[in-house]
Amino acid sequence: MKSAENAAHFQREIDRLKSRYPHPRSAVMAALRLAQENHGGWLPPEALREVADAMDVTPAHAQAVASFYDMFNLQPVGRHIVEVCTNLSCALVGAQQVVEAFEEQLGIPPGETSDDGEVTFRLIECAGGCGYAPVVAVDNRYREPTRPEDVTAIVEAIRGG
Amino acid sequence: MAELTVLKGAEGRDLTRLDEYRAIGGYSALERARGMAPQEVIDVINEAELRGRGGAGFPMGRKLSLVPPAEKRNGGPAYVVANADESEPGAFKDREIMRLVPHRFIEGCLIAAHAIQAKNVFIYIRGEYLAEYLVLEAAIEEARLAEIFGDVDVLVHRGAGAYICGEESALLESLEGDRGQPRPRPPFPPVAGLYMQPTLVNNVQTIASVPAILEMGPERYKELGAESAPGTVVYSLSGNVDRPGNYELPLGTTLRELIFEHGHGVAEGRALKAIIPGGSSVPVFTPDQLDVALDFDAVQAAGSYLGSAAIIVVDDRACMVQLALRAEKFYMHESCGKCTPCREGTRWLVQLLEKIEAGDGTQADLDLVTTVCDRIEGKSLCALGDFAVWCVGSYAEKFRDEFQQHVDEGR
Ligand SMILES: Cc1cc2nc3c(=O)[nH]c(=O)nc-3n(C[C@H](O)[C@H](O)[C@H](O)COP(=O)(O)O)c2cc1C
Ligand code: SF4
Ligand code: FES
């Protein structure tokens, strides 16, 4: 965030979040989520500092909370995030083949971001869609079920949009 | 077709809409409850013998009774916290409840708030459930505008990806703005929970079962389901089964009926190999246990747990060593790191299982799996440590030949 105006706007948003709870500290996760959205999907050190300032907690606390949860990214991510569940129910009905199809189509292994910065590809734990497996989430929107033969179209849609 | 209580009315109607929900009598249970003294509401839930659907099967009425009534709180608040963190591998029912009948869930929250005289309801929903969060927020907004809340405030708090936050004390830590690590207990949440105030923590489905109890009355509710666990439950059926999905059925439905009548069995030409009856955390069953009734006590008597009523079906293509490794990796990843047996033990189990799965394991490695399991079970701060052992330990015991073969034949 660059300008003082942006900082003031962020503070107002955080104050609104804080006011919803009996104890303002409860808004830490919401503040981190907002900061992450403002910073292109991840939390660089300055984002953690902004959260700490606006929340009136120490930077160490902001960092400690952020690092605890899988959905807070402490490394840069692509513009889109593709996630494949590989937990039991998905594994039993072919999640591995879906993973391989994405590897091939995206040209990167799980855990990496494509060179053009477009797509981050990762494996996740149970997404709560086990009955519609294998489950894939694209930018947090579930695609259930996803078969290996669906992967080309998914990747084209991401790259095109 | 058995009578439904949780998903009732959702076929053919869009119950996410307030007018539709009201058209089938929605929010009349709340009205009835508000016309009763808080203690009377607790009595009704007690009489219905509603047991928690989030994993442990604890009677909700008893939990409500543990919260000190308003006159004994010195003016201090009490809170209702709905556990919508649903992250147990195999479970996907709370999500369906929030998506299809959000108002019934909200109505249950408000009845619980009346019962313990709480002014704040917090719904802790897992961060990944974006679509469900939006449905819930819209329903809450509609109910708020219709002035259904009275002087109660309902807030949805989004998680951010951590299985351990489904554990109630970790959830409360997370809700307070900290890392989601379990607390030592006692004190238990009904006595000292959120912000150290009396707090009722219940699962989404437990709460969504409450309106039907007030509508039907406990006597009729108890006619549904098993003797020791009345009512219906939404079973999540997944894995190698022809028709996976959520099935709301009376508690005490047998595994055989669920898997073969509702789920249409395993694929043509395949044989049933194993059944995990309560989400990935519980001990595995073998096909000779198909006649076990899926209620809390019967499943426990048979050596496992109903847990979150998530049934995972495994057919003969699966390798149990591979499944054990996959399950253990999950617990290793989700261990919050607070206590040593769980943090180090899960890591150790993964290393051993990786070796065995790759065909490089020795007899000593296999024996060590059992030893490490013994050193974790019952020695951890929260039940995640036990979960990490029950899955692997039971696979290694009941499918011993397969593990032994990996060691003996190097595969
Ligand atoms: C590791 C772990 C994860 C849990 N995850 C959940 C969960 O996702 N949802 C849930 O309702 N209960 C979960 N529980 C159980 C809760 O601690 C608690 O017992 C439950 O929310 C109480 O609600 P109930 O009495 O209505 O079942 C979990 C427990 C443990 C130990
Ligand atoms: S048992 Fe595991 S998850 Fe539970 S408190 Fe200990 S380290 Fe954390
Ligand atoms: S195991 Fe993949 S969504 Fe549950």
Find the B334 Cα to ligand 2 centroid distance in Å: 9
**Structure confidence at residue A2 (pLDDT):** 57
Looking at the partner chain, which of B95, B176, B313 has a beta carbon nearest the beta carbon of A128? Answer: B95
CB contact under 8 A, B195 and A29: no
User: What are B166-185's pLDDT values in tens digits?
Assistant: 999 999 999 999 999 999 99
What average pLDDT does this structure show over B188-196? 97
> Which residues 73-112 in chain A show a CB within 8 A of chain B?
86-89, 91-93
Q: Does B177 touch chain A (CB under 8 A)?
A: yes
Nearest CA among B300, B280, B286 for reference residue B387:
B280
User: What are B348-388's pLDDT values in tens digits?
Assistant: 999 999 999 999 999 999 999 999 999 999 999 999 999 99
Among A130, A132, A146, the mutation site with the greatest number of ligand 3 atoms within 8 A of its Cβ is A130
Contacts 24+ apart (CB under 8 A), B137-141: B138/B16, B138/B102, B139/B16, B139/B18, B139/B102, B139/B103, B139/B106, B140/B102, B140/B106
Find the A6 Cα to ligand 3 centroid distance in Å: 39
Q: How confident is the model at residue A35 (pLDDT cuts 50, 70, 90)?
A: very high
B239: tokens are: 């894995």
Q: Does A32 touch chain B (CB under 8 A)?
A: yes
Contacts for A4 with CB less than 8 Å, ≥ 6 apart:
none
B252: tokens are: 């005490």
DSSP string, B313-372: EEETT--HHHHHHHHHHHHHHH--SSSHHHHHHHHHHHHHHHHHHTT---HHHHHHHHHH
Q: What pairs with residue B236 in β-bridges? A: B246, B310
What average pLDDT does this structure show over A5-16? 94
Helix/strand/coil (H/E/C) assignment for every residue in B361-381? CCHHHHHHHHHHHHHHCCCCC
Q: Any idea what DSSP says for residue B285?
A: B
Backbone angles phi and psi of B155, in degrees to 5: -125, 130
What average pLDDT does this structure show over A65-79? 97
**Structure confidence at residue B324 (pLDDT):** 98
CB A105 within 8 A of CB A116: no
For residue B206, the ligand closest to its alpha carbon is 1
CB A77 within 8 A of CB A88: no
Q: Kindly report the average pLDDT of chain B as a whole number.
A: 97
Q: Report the C-alpha gap between B108 and B168 in whole angstroms.
A: 19
Q: How confident is the model at residue B410 (pLDDT cuts 50, 70, 90)?
A: confident
**Structure confidence at residue A161 (pLDDT):** 65
Q: Whose CA is nearest to atom 28 of ligand 1?
A: B167
What average pLDDT does this structure show over A9-31? 97
Q: Does A157 touch chain B (CB under 8 A)?
A: no
Q: How confident is the model at residue A5 (pLDDT cuts 50, 70, 90)?
A: confident
User: What are B274-323's pLDDT values in tens digits?
Assistant: 999 999 999 999 999 999 999 999 999 999 999 999 999 999 999 999 99
Question: Looking at beta carbons, which residues of chain A come within 8 Å of B157?
Answer: 26, 29-30
B361: tokens are: 């394991």
pLDDT at residue B2 tops 90 = no
**Structure confidence at residue A6 (pLDDT):** 87
Q: How confident is the model at residue A160 (pLDDT cuts 50, 70, 90)?
A: confident
Q: Kindly report the average pLDDT of chain A as a whole number.
A: 96
Please give the share of chain B, as a percent, with pLDDT higher than 90.
Answer: 97
Residue B253's identity, in one-letter code, is: T
**Structure confidence at residue A4 (pLDDT):** 86
Q: Does B98 touch chain A (CB under 8 A)?
A: no
Question: Looking at beta carbons, which residues of chain B come within 8 Å of A30?
Answer: 157-158
Find the B186 Cα to ligand 3 centroid distance in Å: 33
Contacts for A41 with CB less than 8 Å, ≥ 6 apart:
A73, A76, A77, A78, A79, A81
**Structure confidence at residue B1 (pLDDT):** 57
User: What are A94-150's pLDDT values in tens digits?
Assistant: 999 999 999 999 999 999 999 999 999 999 999 999 999 999 999 999 999 999 999
Tally of CB atoms within 10 A around B214: 23
**Closest residue on chain A to B336 (Cα):** A68
Three-state secondary structure call for residue A113: strand
Distances in whole angstroms, Cα of residue A50 to Cα of each of A36, A66, A70: 11, 13, 20
* CB of A89 shorter than 6 A to ligand 3: yes
**Structure confidence at residue B337 (pLDDT):** 95
User: What are B96-139's pLDDT values in tens digits?
Assistant: 999 999 999 999 999 999 999 999 999 999 999 999 999 999 99
Q: Report the C-alpha gap between B100 and B248 in whole angstroms.
A: 13
Question: Looking at beta carbons, which residues of chain B come within 8 Å of A87?
Answer: 89, 280, 326, 330
* CB of B29 shorter than 6 A to ligand 1: no
Which residue, among B238, B315, B334, would best test binding to A if mutated, counting the most A CBs under 10 Å from its CB? B238
Please give the share of chain B, as a percent, with pLDDT higher than 70.
Answer: 100
Q: Does B261 touch chain A (CB under 8 A)?
A: no
Question: Looking at beta carbons, which residues of chain A come within 8 Å of B159?
Answer: 29, 69
* CB of B346 shorter than 6 A to ligand 2: no
Q: Report the C-alpha gap between B331 and B319 in whole angstroms.
A: 19
Q: Does A15 touch chain B (CB under 8 A)?
A: no
What average pLDDT does this structure show over B66-94? 97
pLDDT at residue B245 tops 80 = yes
CB B77 within 8 A of CB B158: no
**Structure confidence at residue B226 (pLDDT):** 82
What average pLDDT does this structure show over A18-44? 97
Q: Report the C-alpha gap between B315 and B244 in whole angstroms.
A: 14
